[in-house]
Amino acid sequence: MKPRFVVRLLGPAILLSVGIVVAACGDDAGTPQSGGADGDSAGGGTTRQFDLALSALERKCSDDREMIANMASSAQKLLQEKGINLRLVEVMREVNESIAPGSGEQPCADIFASYVAQQ
């Protein structure tokens, strides 16, 4: 395969990955907090679901918790721009399910990018 072909083929996926990482590294305004737009209840139901989904991803991703949460938030925003409205916890669960069990820790930016691109 010629290098130019590979760049053309992988270009959009790489750009999307870079976009998610850059957005995730931005400010702390995108970091999910309890009581946010995700519909957290006073009993902590959604907050607990968020924490469980984040912990599951943390076991599969080499990124730290905050970066994973920021990438999930960025992916959610990109999906909203495409007209797809999912709760943050749904995005995290679906990305987690897309990672094969026992595959070991890996950088998850490309996984989030692929998830957004496939929607």
Per-residue pLDDT tens digits for 19-47: 555 555 554 434 444 334 444 444 457 88
pLDDT at residue number 28: 43
Which portions of the chain are predicted below pLDDT 70?
1-44
pTM for the whole structure: 0.65
pLDDT at residue number 31: 42
Cα distances (angstroms) measured from residue 20 to each of 11, 51, 90: 14, 21, 17
Q: Dig out the tokens for 79 from the structure.
A: 């999906």
